[in-house]
Amino acid sequence: MTNIKTRELPLHAIAHARAGDKGNVSNISLIAYLPEAYDFLKREVSEAKVEALFAHLGAGAVKRYELPNLYAFNFVIQDALDGGVNASRSLDRHGKTLSFILLSRLILDIPEALIPPSSPYRDPEFNWR
Amino acid sequence: MDRDVYIANGAGFSGDRFDAAVPLVAHLATCSGPRYLMFEVLAERTIALAQNAKAKDPSSGYSPYLENYLRPILHDVQKHQVRIVSNMGAANPAAGARHIHRLAEEMGLKPFKIAVLTGDDVTSYLDRQAIIEAETMEGTSLAGRDLCAANAYLGGDAVAKALDTGADIVLVGRTTDSALVLGPLIHEFGWQEEALDKLAAGTICGHLLECGGQVTGAYFADPGFKDVPDLAGVGFPLAEVRADGQFTITKADGTGGCVTKATVTEQLLYEMHDPSCYLVPDVSADVTEMQLIEEAPNRIKVVGIKGHERPEKLKVTVCVDGGYMAEAEMSYAGLNALKRAKLAGEVVLSRMRASGYNEEIRMDILGAYSVLDGGRAERMEGKNLPFDGDYRVRLALISEDRDKAQLLCNELQHLYCSGPAGGGGYRAAVTEQMASASILLDRALIAPHVKAEVIAHD
């Protein structure tokens, strides 16, 4: 049995992200801070989980692309932008803030070793909620 | 030509910092080899607005910021032989060129040789009705709407033709943003249509540069987690490109920001879909095997980009009239503010319905549920929202009818005297909208109309 120390944390503890738009399609990159976190992200951040995170926006299918050389993923999310930049009634018509849905709202049991050494999340007392 | 080519980007969107190019020109002056400065200032919507401006006044229709961007650097680009490539031409590159001639004269500079690229505006040679009735990539129909603009995305090959005239400055309208970088590389290195890996590398180099500071630490900072030094003084990017297509992304000396594997990776995937086929007119670029190498602090070398055959068709963005958007807001703060804000919104919604407006109206309460929640109140559940808070109700709609849009703003304003307790800070706006969609057209319909022309001073 392995004995890996994990904590319940958001993806924000181990990855960063940026959102882009083309029409009504949002794409959100997810990039591990540490290369070691890539396999964990690959296992845990599935298309189905991301689809569920964006369902309330009316989003449709999600496609995940893998870039192991860059320890990164690209999620392409259909119909996430209320019609796109020229049709949306959102305050954020490009959906630029949406990268923080992925970083903030997917809470996982994250191995502590995958958190960057300088990150505030390394402190067990750090209150992120 | 085997010397490295140096390309810097002084603007990533219309409205980017006007002074960003100054340190780039100073840096380029120290580089030995061909030097280029690009400015990318043309959003989808911008070109439609420019088209409208040109319809009203034939001497306008280019970037309204042309002088803001060029005045600070025009003297030094002439002194150091830095060539400029920009889509500031928008809907009227020739008029933009004449403006630069006048500006150079006023500044006491020698005349520039300025070339413009045209042919992206397909409304000038294709049937307007056929454009509006074409099948769109999004599946939406534009039939029955007023056509504002339809522009094909031209490629690096077209931009290179404009540089082949020997121009110091090239103004274009719609090209892919990355073509502003690929064009100079094709011109300098003579890359042919079959050099797919090199064309792909030049395209990705352009993609990394095209958003300005977004590759050098801007749009990246997350304080405490992902820090960026001197964001206020962020340096805009510069690429050193080798004849084999390998390139290094860096930034001007003495500027803020940072160039790291992380900043480059974020920008690489920005607005990209399938990383194995990033489509531009010149090539389909594949970055799945790409590697980043940190050569030195703030210097990231990019290798391993592959290219596949270019697409058969070119993308054309069609802009049509899109009605009016109304947005109106009011703040509520202190004890029980959330419930007062919610009641305020409900009062407006109820009065809009009573007026006969039955289309969708979006309601957000900033501070409780907004951009991440799709304006859906049920998303507040489970959030630990303060009873003593600071909330702002926002209502928004898009209507064909300007009066209905204005009515929403009026109804929210009425809350000053007729709404819940303690509302303040009303702001509202009605803005004209543009709707857009993309169509695909055969190259053969467009290519014969693509022309590079040198524009002389009047």
Query: According to DSSP H, which parts of B80-195 are helical?
Result: 93-106, 128-133, 156-164, 179-189
- Length of chain A, please? 129
- Minimal CA–CA distance to A115: which of A8, A15, A4? A15
pTM above 0.90, yes or no: yes
Structure tokens at B3: 């010397």
Number of structural domains chain A divides into: 1
Chain A residues whose beta carbon lies within 8 Å of the beta carbon of residue B44: 85-86
Residue A2 lies in a domain: no
A90 to B371: CB separation less than 8 angstroms, yes or no: yes
Residue A120 lies in a domain: no
A74 to B224: CB separation less than 8 angstroms, yes or no: no
Query: According to DSSP H, which parts of chain A are helical?
Result: 37-44, 47-54, 99-105
B292 to A65: CB separation less than 8 angstroms, yes or no: no
- The residues, any chain, with a CB within 8 Å of residue B258's CB and separated by 6 or more, are B216, B217, B228, B229, B298
pLDDT value at residue B265: 98
Q: Is the pLDDT of residue A116 over 90?
A: yes
Give the residue carrying structure tokens 């042309």: B66
Q: What is the DSSP letter of A114?
A: G
Q: Where are the domains of chain B?
A: 5-119+154-311, 321-438
Nearest by CB to residue B398, choosing from A27, A89, A119, is: A89
Chain A residues whose beta carbon lies within 8 Å of the beta carbon of residue B306: none
Q: What is the DSSP letter of B134?
A: S
In terms of DSSP bridges, do strands B247-251 and B278-280 run parallel, antiparallel, or are they unpaired? Answer: unpaired
Residue A73 lies in a domain: yes
Amino acid type, B197: D
Residue A122 lies in a domain: no
Q: A14-38 pLDDT, tens per residue?
A: 999 999 999 999 999 999 999 999 9
Per-residue exposure over A7-45, b if at least 16 CB sit within 10 Å of its own CB, e if not? eebbbbbbbbbbbbbbbbbbbbbbbbbbeebbebbeeeb
Domain containing A59: what range? 15-105
Backbone angles phi, psi at B183, to 5 degrees: -55, -55
Q: Which residue of B has its CA nearest to A57?
A: B374
Choose, out of B225, B319, B357, the residue to mutate when testing the contact with A (most A CBs < 10 Å): B225
**pLDDT category of residue A2 using cuts at 50, 70 and 90:** low
Q: What is the DSSP letter of B364?
A: E
In terms of DSSP bridges, do strands A25-32 and A62-67 run parallel, antiparallel, or are they unpaired? Answer: unpaired
| Range A85-109 average pLDDT | 96
- Say whether residue B219 is in contact with chain A using an 8 A CB cutoff: yes
What whole-number distance in Å separates Cα of residue B260 and Cα of residue B282? 28
What whole-number distance in Å separates Cα of residue B285 and Cα of residue B198? 10
What whole-number distance in Å separates Cα of residue B103 and Cα of residue B79? 16
CATH number belonging to the domain at B321-438, selected among 3.30.70, 1.10.60, 3.40.50, 3.40.190: 3.30.70
In contact, B131 and B299? CB cutoff 8 Å: no
Residue A3 lies in a domain: no
Residue A5 lies in a domain: no
Nearest by CB to residue B225, choosing from A24, A31, A120, is: A120
In contact, A104 and A10? CB cutoff 8 Å: yes
What whole-number distance in Å separates Cα of residue B319 and Cα of residue A61? 27
A70 to B45: CB separation less than 8 angstroms, yes or no: no
pLDDT of chain B, 458 residues: tens digit per residue: 579 999 999 999 998 999 999 999 999 999 999 999 999 999 877 888 899 899 999 999 999 999 999 999 999 999 999 999 999 999 999 999 999 999 999 999 999 999 999 999 999 999 999 999 999 998 888 988 999 999 999 999 999 999 999 999 999 999 999 999 999 999 999 999 999 999 999 999 999 999 999 999 999 999 999 999 999 999 999 999 999 999 999 999 899 999 999 999 999 999 999 999 999 999 999 999 999 999 999 999 999 999 999 999 999 999 999 999 999 999 999 999 999 999 999 999 999 999 999 999 999 999 999 999 999 999 999 899 999 999 999 999 999 999 999 999 999 999 999 999 999 999 999 999 999 999 999 999 999 999 999 999 88
State the count of interchain CB pairs (< 8 A) between A and B. 120
Residue A72 lies in a domain: yes
A20 to B433: CB separation less than 8 angstroms, yes or no: no
B374 to A82: CB separation less than 8 angstroms, yes or no: yes
- Say whether residue B76 is in contact with chain A using an 8 A CB cutoff: no
Structure tokens at B419: 């709404």
ipTM: 0.97
A89 to B394: CB separation less than 8 angstroms, yes or no: no
Residues 92-111 of A with CB under 8 A from B: 92, 97-98, 100-101, 104-105
Cβ count within 10 A of residue B130? 10
Residues 92-111 of B with CB under 8 A from A: none
- The residues, any chain, with a CB within 8 Å of residue A95's CB and separated by 6 or more, are A19, A21, A26, A80, A81, A88
Give the residue carrying structure tokens 């947005």: B327
Q: Which residue of B has its CA nearest to A90?
A: B371
- Say whether residue A112 is in contact with chain B using an 8 A CB cutoff: no
Q: What single string gives the DSSP state of each residue in B56-110?
A: H-TT--S-TTHHHHHTTTHHHHHHTTEEEEESTTTT-HHHHHHHHHHHHHHTTPP
pLDDT value at residue B403: 98
